Amino acid sequence: MKRVSIVLFILLLGVLMGCSSAGTDTAGTLEVKDVWGRNSPMAAPNGAFYMTIVNNTGEDEQLLSVATDVCSTVELHEMYTMDNGAMGMRPVDGGVIAIPAGQTVELKVGGLHVMCIDKVQAFETGQQIPLTLTFANAGEMVVNAEIREEAMDSSSMGG
């Protein structure tokens, strides 16, 4: 009887440990989270999308491109300081965003971002816009960008 109780206890402990990690184990995966864009009326020709990409895999990854039906052209961009000290925006070097193994890359206001050129519709608060991300190793991943009034907190404003 004592052995049966010990075996049952070990089995129960194993089940409980498995349940506590279910849904939270992201080892070996590429995670894209907090995908959003700022509201933008049709009078503004361009828009931008932001997100956090977590590379939980054992190999370096690259974001090669992003596609969406709401933009005529989509480019991976970065903000930079021009020679005169003003901020400028340009496509990223080589046209791709590197996501090193085990690292997190944040696309945020004032930094790396997805540039939507020649919008075909207004971006309205609360709207969900599908984006197809293409990665070098992980392939295509479809995510929804939530259109927001502004960044959720001032730390993501990028100065």
pLDDT in tens, 91-132: 999 999 999 999 999 999 999 999 999 999 999 999 999 999
Binning pLDDT at 50, 70 and 90, where does residue 13 land? very low
Q: What pLDDT, on the 0 to 100 scale, is given for residue 46? A: 95
- Hey, what are 84's tokens? 């005169």
85: left (phi over 0), alpha (psi -120 to 50) or beta: left
Q: Three-state SS for 81?
A: strand
User: 77 pLDDT exceeds 50?
Assistant: yes
Instruction: Write out the E strands in 45-111.
Output: 47-55, 61-67, 71-81, 87-91, 97-99, 104-107
pTM of the model: 0.77
User: 26 pLDDT exceeds 70?
Assistant: no
- Dist CA 44 CA 119 (whole Å): 8
For the chain, the domains span: 30-151
Q: What pLDDT, on the 0 to 100 scale, is given for residue 151? A: 54
Residue labelled with tokens 């070097």:
93
- CATH 3.40.718.10 describes domain 30-151: no
